[in-house]
């Protein structure tokens, strides 16, 4: 009897192959995805780039992929050979966030929707650690797991034309930070001065999949002091 494959493998484009897992996202799968993509980049010369999703890897190739079944079997064998996850250097980042009303235009309305005080919402949001699953949507946009269930909410019925860079927001079962000005339908509950995306740097985003994010509440004066450092190019982001 043929054993069940650990993931599905199919082409989206002659040079693009998608690997898709049917298991729900969790910490164990995240480690598998991180380790597997490192193994692919090391062992499969044809692959030039990999984009990670919650339960998927998208492989970009130098040339067209032929005989997808043979190629899939090669990837299955490589995956099965990884008897233990490839450990990566995962870091913890503390992100300062100002939750004061001027910088958190949706905080009060969301707290009312969730039937809690703004103080309770802020405390709950900052009391847990979040894990970076992948980076996408916008350059430097961190997809984070770990939002407490009491903060889950419907997205806005009508998206906002412009959510400002640095806005910390909640939408559905996720929280995130907008690295650039962008339309969006999430509820803005705070703002950080930290730049999540810098195209001038070799590593354009300071965090990576597997890292841990912790939000720290700061005052408005602290926010603007850090924002001044960011504008001057002197704000250095270091892991804990």
Q: DSSP letters along 142-163, please? A: EEEE---GGG-BPPPSS-EEEE
Asked if residue 153 and residue 209 are part of one domain, the reply reads: yes
Domain membership flag for residue 86: no
Q: Are residues 103 and 67 in the same domain?
A: no
Residues 115 and 185 in one domain: yes
Do both 101 and 217 map to the same domain? yes
| Tens of pLDDT, residue by residue, the chain (240 residues) | 355 788 999 999 999 999 999 988 888 899 899 999 999 999 999 999 999 998 999 999 999 999 999 999 999 999 999 876 556 678 999 999 999 999 999 999 999 999 999 999 999 999 999 999 988 878 889 989 999 999 999 999 999 999 999 999 999 999 999 999 999 999 999 999 999 988 888 888 999 999 999 999 999 999 999 999 999 989 988 999
For residue 230, the tally of other CB atoms under 10 A from its CB is: 16
Instruction: Look up the pTM and report it.
Output: 0.84
Q: Is residue 223 located within the same domain as residue 104?
A: yes
* Range(s) of the domain holding residue 97: 92-232
Q: Is residue 130 part of a domain?
A: yes
Same domain, yes or no: 155 and 220: yes
Of 218, 186, 217, nearest in space to 123 by CA: 217
The 3-state DSSP composition of the chain as helix, strand, coil percent (nearest 5) reads: 30, 30, 40
Beta bridge partners of 44: none
Q: Could you tell me the two tokens for 74?
A: 């090669």
- Name the β-bridge partners of 33: none
Residue 108, CB half-sphere, CA atoms under 13 Å: how many?
5
Query: Per the structure, how many domains does the chain have?
Result: 2
Which SS3 state, helix, strand or coil, does residue 73 take? helix
């Amino acid at each position: 009897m043929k054993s069940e494959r650990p993931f599905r493998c199919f082409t989206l484009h002659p040079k693009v192959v998608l690997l898709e897992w049917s298991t729900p996202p969790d910490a164990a799968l995240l480690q598998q995805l991180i380790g597997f993509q490192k193994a692919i980049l090391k062992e499969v010369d044809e692959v030039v780039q990999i984009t990670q999703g919650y339960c998927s890897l998208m492989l970009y190739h130098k040339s067209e992929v032929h005989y997808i079944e043979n190629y899939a079997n090669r990837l299955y064998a490589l995956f099965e050979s990884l008897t233990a996850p490839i450990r990566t250097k995962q870091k913890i980042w503390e992100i300062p966030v100002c939750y004061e009303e001027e910088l958190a235009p949706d905080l009060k309305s969301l707290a009312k929707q969730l039937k809690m005080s703004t103080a309770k919402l802020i405390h709950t949001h900052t009391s847990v650690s979040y894990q970076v699953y992948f980076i996408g949507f916008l350059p430097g946009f961190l997809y984070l797991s770990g939002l407490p269930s009491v903060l889950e909410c419907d997205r806005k019925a009508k998206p906002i034309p412009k959510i400002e860079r640095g806005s910390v927001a909640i939408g559905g079962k996720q929280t995130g930070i907008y690295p650039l000005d962008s339309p969006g339908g999430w509820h803005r509950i705070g703002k950080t001065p930290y730049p999540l995306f810098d195209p001038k740097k070799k590593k354009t985003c300071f965090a990576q999949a597997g890292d841990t994010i912790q939000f720290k509440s700061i005052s408005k004066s602290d926010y603007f002091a850090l924002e001044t450092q960011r504008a001057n190019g002197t704000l250095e982001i270091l892991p804990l």
